[in-house]
Amino acid sequence: MPYPRPSLSADVPENRSPRGKVSTALKISKLLAAGFAALALTGLACGPATASPETDALYNSAQRHFTDGDDAAGRADLRALIAADPNDGQALALQAIWSHYAGDVPAVTDAMNRLNAVDPALAAGTANVFNAICAAVGTLPNPLPALVGPQTGIVVLGYGLLPDGALRPELVDRLQAAFLQALAAPFSPVVVTGGNPQNGVTEAEAMRAWLVGHGLPAARVSAENRAGSTVQNALYSTRLLRDLGASSAVVVTSPNHIRRAVADFIVAGTAVVGAMTSLDQLVSQIIPPVRSNQRGIYLDSTRTFQLPTAR
């Protein structure tokens, strides 16, 4: 069954570089992310074709290895699983993603060919994970706001509060960037996302209070109070953006966090048309990460894609 494609906003201008050219990474995210929104938002509908205790044990072992950083062992477990059950879509998707990280092109091709035969929709979603990671790695920290319309939301990611519920300086930096973005896009809804309460206050509640206290209308700022990770920031905020009528987003966070956040939001089904960061650590994060430093992006993407960590 084909998954519905949410419409892209016609009034949202493309993000552009100082020379006026469309940012390739963000254009990719806009064109490709939206088509897989329903897949991410509803979770993976298909499980393994013939689940068994043996294949589940191999799957769980592989996921533990990936979490612990032993990718070779994880991929070996998946090869054994796929040999036992060639139609296990979740295992094939994981094998494709981690082979992509390893730069093993033949293994990626084999896993994707098998997955296309077993579950074309899941294969398309896996391909979108690759595109999301590519777009994220190519994203540059950017302190300048994007000029966007009302169908683009502004999503501000939280950061741990102090024990008394007060904002840490890094979170204030994110909020200052978000405030500038909100001024530049006065008709865009604003979503603040983060749970992890301290002294009875969630990150989102503290962030909303700061933005409203600095002059944004209270009705314009929506709080997502449950997220405890970047993965959950992306999944829960994507749902909230849909409820607010937004089909795309400008993601606002710190420079050392922006690439992982962009990947997670694209995988979750949000078309990312802008990525704004605070000034802190800007210079040190300009150079795109080498492959070995992209591992966290890959791991997060498998979680956002809702491949189970255990079954």
The mean per-residue pLDDT over the stretch 218-240 comes to 98
Whether residues 166 and 214 fall in one domain = yes
User: Does 39 share its domain with 5?
Assistant: yes
Instruction: Note whether 93 and 171 are same-domain residues.
Output: no
Domain hosting residue 285, numbered range: 1-43+140-292
Assigned domain for 309 exists: no
pLDDT value at residue 229: 97
* Share of residues in the chain with pLDDT > 90 (%): 80
Q: Are residues 280 and 31 in contact, defined by beta-carbon separation less than 8 angstroms?
A: no
Instruction: Specify the CATH number for the domain of residue 266.
Output: 3.40.50.620
H helical segments located in 139-276: 169-184, 203-213, 230-243, 258-268
Structural domain contains residue 132 = no
- Whether the per-residue pLDDT at 81 is higher than 70: the answer is yes
Specify which residues 201 forms β-bridges with: 198
Closest by Cα among 306, 274, 309 to 129: 306
- Asked whether residue 198 carries a pLDDT value surpassing 80, the answer given is yes
Q: How confident is the model at residue 24 (pLDDT cuts 50, 70, 90)?
A: very low
The answer to whether residue 274 is domain-embedded is yes
Calculate the dihedral angle through the C-alpha atoms of 269, 274, 275, 279, rounding to the nearest 10 degrees: -160
Predicted confidence (pLDDT) per residue in 150-193, tens digit: 999 999 999 999 999 999 999 999 999 999 999 999 999 999 99
Query: Average pLDDT of 289-310?
Result: 96
pLDDT at 55: 96
What is the pLDDT at residue 233? 98
pLDDT-derived band at 280 (thresholds 50, 70, 90) equals confident
- Per the structure, how many domains does the chain have? 2
pLDDT score of 281: 84
For the residues 147-152, what does the mean pLDDT come to? 96
Q: Does 300 fall in a domain?
A: no
Same domain, 111 and 149: no
Intra-chain end-to-end CA distance of the chain, in Å: 25
CATH code for position 114: 1.25.40.10
pLDDT > 70 in the chain, percent: 84
Residues 89 and 172 in one domain: no
pLDDT confidence bin for 106, thresholds 50/70/90: very high
Given this model, what pLDDT does residue 3 score? 27
Are 13 and 31 contained in the same domain? yes
Residues 39 and 57 both lie in one domain: no
Residue 251 near residue 234, CB atoms below 8 Å: no
Residue 284 has a pLDDT of 87
